[in-house]
Chain A
C-alpha cells in the first residue's frame, strides 16, 4: 500500500448499528485517489437510480485525501458525497478544518454511512476504533452547541466534530454539515440526508497512527512551493489581510456582488460590511485550519459596535457577507455577522439561504406577500430582526418559513405567478454561489451544468495555461467561456480528491509532485487533470441515470436576466445560453444531450459506464 493511505474504510450500517472495517484496495485508490474521488467511486457502485436521497440505502461517504494528515497546507479537508435532495442527483461538497487529518490519524481514509438509525445517534471515531452513541440529548442543539456538548462529553480536546443543526433534523432540503467552528459542507442538502438517517454528528478524535510519506524532503519542497505560490497571488494576500470578505468591494466594482436579489448591482454601502471593515472595527482572533499557511484567513470575531455588540462568532466568509448583507440590502456589519453565523449554527447552506431571504424580501416589497401572509414578519429590505426570525422558522419548518424549507425553487413554484419570475435558482435545483453570475458567465455556466450540486470546474479561475489552453480575456464571450470551462474541467475535482484547500494549494504541477512525494504515485500534469475529468464524467453518468437532463441545465428567469444597472448592465447571457451549453458539451466530449460519448468514457477508464 502506498504511503499516505491507511487502506481502511469504516462502514457504518445504521439499520443494524454494525460497524465494520473494509479495505478499498490499490485498484480503487489508484483510480480514484481519495477524498471526492473515493466518495464518487462508492456512490457509483452502491447507489442505483432507484435509491432516492431519502432512501435508507442512500450512502454518505465522508473521506479524506491522500495528502490529509501531512503538513501540506490546508489538508484537513472533509469531502462528503451522497445523493442530495436539491438536485435529486449527486452531491459533492467539502469543508476545511481538521476532519480529514484526524480521520487519517485514527487509521481510516474515510467513512461510509448507510441505513437509517432507529433512534438518533452520533458516530465517535478514535484510535482505530469507532462507536455509535446516543444523541437524544443533542436534539434541537445548533451546530456549535453540538460541538461543545460532544467535546465535553468525550473529554477530548483535539477532536473534530461535524454536526447537523435543527435544519438537518427537520430535513430542510438545503441543510448543511457544519464543524470545527464555522466550516461547512453546505451543498445539495447533505445535512438533510444525515437528518433522514438520524445521524446527528460525526466526532473524530486526533489519533496516534502516523501518516507516513514516501519522500519527506521532496514533500517539504512542495510545501514551500505552495507557500511561494500563494504569497505571489494577489487575491491570496487580500484573503490573508482581510479574509475572503476582502474581495467584496472589488466584486461590486465588476457587477458580481449580489444585491437585493439581483434587482440592482449598486451597493456603495458594501464598504460598511466588507472584510476591511470587519477587521478594522471588530475584535478578531486567528482560527486556522489544519496546517494552514494562511494564518490570517479564518478568524473568530467579536462584534464591538452597534445593536449586536458583544456577539461572538466566526468571521463570515465573503459568501456569508453577501448572503446576509448585500443580497438582503443590509449594511449593518454586526447584524450581518449575527445572521451569517445563525445560518451556520442552524445548519443551512449560506448560498441557498441568501436566495431564500432575498426572494422573500423582494416578494414583500412587491406586495406578493404581506404581513398577513408572513405571520406578521416585516420583511422590508435590510430588516435584520425579521430575517433572523424567518431563518429560525425555515430551520424548524414553522410558520411562513416552512414555505421556504425546501429551497427557493420549490417555494417559488408553490407560490406561482410573478413570484416565480423573481426567484434565483438553477432549473436543476442547485444553489448559485453568493455572486451575481450575470457578470461572471463562466460560473453561471458551471453552476448550471455541474453534477455536484454546486460549481465543479470554476471558482477562482484555474489557470488554463498550465494545460496549454487560452484563458478568458472577455468574460462575455460565450465561446471563450464554454471552451475555458471544459478545458479546466477536472482541476477543482483533483484538488478535492487529494483533499486540499484551494486557497493554500494550487497549480497542478505542484499538486502531482506533492502527491508523488507523499504516496509514491506518479502522475503527470495531464494525468492529474484526467483523474478530475474521470470524476466529472462519472458524476454526469450518475446524474443521467437519475433522470437529470439538458432541459434543466439552465438558469431561472431572474438568475439569467439582464442586469439593469452597474458595471455589467446590458450583458445578456440568455441570448447565447443554448449555443454556449452546446459548445461546452462538444468540448467535453459529450453529445448534444449532455451524455458522455463512448470514446470519452473509454479514454478516462470508465468503459463500464458506456451504455450498451
Chain B
C-alpha cells in the first residue's frame, strides 16, 4: 500500500461507545502525528486516501458521522491509478 502503511500500522483499537469514523480518524491522528499530518489539512480531512468501512466505501456507508460498532474493520487506502 506504499507510504501510508509506513505511517500507520495495522492495529486493533478500543474506542468509547458511539465513536464515529471521524472520531476514529482524529484519535489516530493524535496518536500517530505523521499520519495525522497526511490525514488533515487545516482541521479538515485532506482527501489523501479513501476509507473503507468493513466492505464498503465510507462515503456510501454513512460517511464520517457513522458510529462504529464492535468488530468494524476500517481500511485507509491510498489513491490508486494504473497505467
Contacts and interface: CB of A to CB of B under 8 A. Distances in A.
Contacts of B59: 474-477
Contacts of A475: 50, 57, 59
Nearest to B5: A234
Given A475-B50, A476-B60, A568-B60, A434 B1 contact: no
Interface stretch (A142-150, A252-260, A378-386): A252-260
Contacts of B47: 471-473
A463 to B, nearest CB: 10
A570 B3 contact: no
A566 B57 CA distance: 9
A461 B79 contact: yes
A473 B44 CA distance: 9
A571 B83 contact: no
Interface string B4-34: 1000000000000000000000000000000
B46 A567 contact: no
A234 B78 contact: yes
A322 B3 contact: no
Nearest to A241: B2
A244 B82 contact: yes
Contact of A569 (B56, B79, B81): B56
A237 to B, nearest CB: 5
A569 B60 contact: yes
Contacts of B55: 566-567
Contacts of B57: 254-255, 439, 475-476, 567-568, 571
A141 interface: no
A237 B80 CA distance: 12
Q: With a 10 A CB-CB cut-off, give which of B41, B52, B55 has the most chain A CB atoms.
A: B55
Interface string A251-270: 10111100000000000000
A244 B82 CA distance: 5
A503 interface: yes
B77 A250 contact: yes
Given A460-B79, A474-B59, A254 B2 contact: no
Contacts, number: 91
Interface in B28-83: 41, 44-48, 50, 52, 55-57, 59-60, 63, 75, 77-83
Interface string A314-351: 00011101100000000000000000000000000000
Interface string A388-417: 000000000000000000000000000000
Contacts of A49: none
Contacts of A236: 2
Contact of B79 (A235, A319, A465): A235
A234 B1 contact: yes
A571 B2 CA distance: 27
A88 interface: no
Q: With a 10 A CB-CB cut-off, give which of B45, B47, B52 has the most chain A CB atoms.
A: B47
A432 interface: no
Q: With a 10 A CB-CB cut-off, give which of B46, B75, B80 has the most chain A CB atoms.
A: B80
Interface string A551-577: 000000000000000111111000000
A247 interface: yes
Interface in A73-110: none
A89 B59 CA distance: 36
Contact of A250 (B3, B44, B63, B80): B80
Nearest to A256: B80
Q: With a 10 A CB-CB cut-off, give which of B3, B41, B47, B81 has the most chain A CB atoms.
A: B81
A434 B82 CA distance: 8
Interface of A: 232-238, 244-245, 247-248, 250-251, 253-256, 317-319, 321-322, 434-435, 439, 459-461, 465, 471-477, 503, 566-571
The 8 A-B pairs with the shortest beta carbon distances in the complex, nearest first, are A318-B82, A234-B2, A234-B3, A471-B47, A473-B47, A460-B81, A247-B80, A244-B83
Given A321-B82, A568-B57, 20 more contacts: A234-B3, A235-B2, A238-B2, A253-B77, A254-B80, A255-B57, A256-B80, A318-B83, A319-B83, A322-B82, A460-B79, A460-B81, A465-B41, A473-B46, A474-B59, A475-B50, A476-B57, A568-B60, A569-B56, A571-B60
22 contacts: A232-B3, A233-B3, A234-B1, A234-B2, A235-B80, A247-B81, A250-B1, A250-B80, A254-B77, A317-B82, A319-B82, A435-B82, A460-B81, A471-B47, A473-B44, A473-B45, A473-B47, A474-B59, A475-B59, A476-B57, A567-B55, A571-B57
